[in-house]
Amino acid sequence: MTYTQEKIRQLVETQRKFFRSGITLNVNWRLQQLKKLKAAVIAHEEELEKALHHDLGRSRTEAYLCDIGPVIVEINETIRGLKKWARPELHFSGLMCFPSIFTTVYKLPYGVSLIISPFNFPILLTLGVLTASIAGGNTAVIKTSSKSAASTKALQKLIAETFPENYITVVDGGHDVADMCLAQRFDKIFYTGSPAVGRHVLEQAAKNLTPVALELGGETGNWCIVRKDANIRDAARKIAFFKICNAGQICININQVAVAEEIADTFNEALKAEFIRQIGEKPEENEEYPKLINDSAYDKCQKLAEQYKERIIFGGTGNRGTRRFAPTMIYPVRIDEDIVQQELFCPLLPIVPYKDDEVDSLMETIADREHPRAMYVFTKDIKWAKKVMSTQQYGGGCINEVCIHMMVKGVPFNGVGHSGMGAYHGEWGFREFTHPTTVLKGKTHFNLSLREHPYTGKHEKLKMRLLKMFEK
């Protein structure tokens, strides 16, 4: 379909009319829509898997592990918790509000939401966010990525067969269509993508003072710290798995590894062995290995690898025809080099050696940069690890593990600063797509004249005494 500004405007207006009908305010109705969405995902599972294979070269297992399965888990969690999350809160009004006794906080939907999703996890990062929007009682216009065209087509079919257009619809197209959407007055915007585009989304949203949630990649990259006391084999195994996953095209992936120079050689050999064990000596020929999203992404990866070819100790090869580029270890890399001050979003893995007794200085350097989307540390010194993880600024992370913090139920998935704002997953997603509204119920009898004039003369001392007493 060809979209115009007028067509987008009409979509938003029909959804606004549907929202104002009040039907989405009913929690039981929302639960019915979530169950419909879950049934649709299951029914379209094979189509979604094929789309992910076409766009990203995902095997069936990886497609389910990284996109389809987590969506079903997210919907299940939301179905189980929604009635509790949506229940109005009752609060004691306090003596200052006498004779009012109770105040209610309602969790109300924003209204018409705009969801702009990325190419790297086109199913999860579309339907996962949609789950939160539905739970909150909103309608949704979804702008999917033009880079993952097959997934967009599959999503359009799934949504069109499940929901009416005036409730939920998928819009395809490039940046021009995204800008047409951003020009409209939405009530909530949720964007997942790069920090550069995130700034643009905020700028456009500011024109209508629309609240925005941003899930971004770390602008200066996500760090993994491997200390000299780490279990090297375990660290290598997990790091290799994660760098292979989706060919590194993950917002929480390891952008670079800082490894204690005391164990650097041993670690490098262990990591090489793990890449070979998991994906083979020629990953670019392995059909299970995912591909980069388009020729531009492949060329950018290859060009950067070429700049560091003298320091490549593993990988560095690829097949432009299939867009598969091998996991590539670059060593040694200084902490001040450009490659570790940008989000790579590809299979390149710079390795930065440091002296283990200078690890705190390393953490200070990381802290001085833009806040990463994720952080990972491998060490037996759990006291130090907990201190780092509770004092650094980043979106989320793991100690002696990678990535699976995002799979934990009941916890937020978020970024901070240049890696995002807002959060979702489970109840956090419900909160993101609702706003609290406080309503006090007044009384028509026994109202005190405390708040009324006059404030001086014979009334002053009494009123001041009561005010100070009520404020305790």
Of 144, 184, 143, the closest CA to residue 12 belongs to 184
Q: How far apart, in whole angstroms, are the C-alpha atoms of residue 423 and residue 433?
A: 10
SS3 for 193?
A: strand
Say if residue 216 is exposed, middle or buried (CB neighbours under 10 Å; 0-12, 13-18, 19+): buried
Q: How far apart, in whole angstroms, are the C-alpha atoms of residue 347 and residue 345?
A: 7
SS3 for 6?
A: helix
Asked whether the beta carbons of 108 and 434 are under 8 A apart, the reply is yes
Taking CA atoms, 118 is separated from 43, 127, 146, in Å, by 23, 12, 9
Q: How far apart, in whole angstroms, are the C-alpha atoms of residue 111 and residue 129?
A: 15
Instruction: Please give the distance of CA 72 from its chain centroid, rounded to a whole number.
Output: 17
Q: Which residues pair with 436 in a beta bridge?
A: 107
Asked whether the beta carbons of 367 and 392 are under 8 A apart, the reply is yes
Q: How far apart, in whole angstroms, are the C-alpha atoms of residue 422 and residue 21?
A: 28
Instruction: Please give the distance of CA 300 from its chain centroid, rounded to a whole number.
Output: 24
Alpha-carbon Rg for the chain in angstroms: 26
Transcribe 129-166 into DSSP letters: HHHHHHHHT-EEEEE--SSSHHHHHHHHHHHHHHS-TT
**CA max distance for the chain:** 91
Asked whether the beta carbons of 142 and 126 are under 8 A apart, the reply is yes
H or E element that contains 102: strand 102-109
Q: How far apart, in whole angstroms, are the C-alpha atoms of residue 206 and residue 58?
A: 37
Which two structure tokens, joined as six digits, stand for 3? 């979209």
Question: What angle do helix axes 27-43 and 124-136 make, rounded to 10 degrees?
Answer: 160
Active-site positions read 215, 251
Q: How far apart, in whole angstroms, are the C-alpha atoms of residue 259 and residue 362?
A: 11
Residues for the chain: how many in total? 472
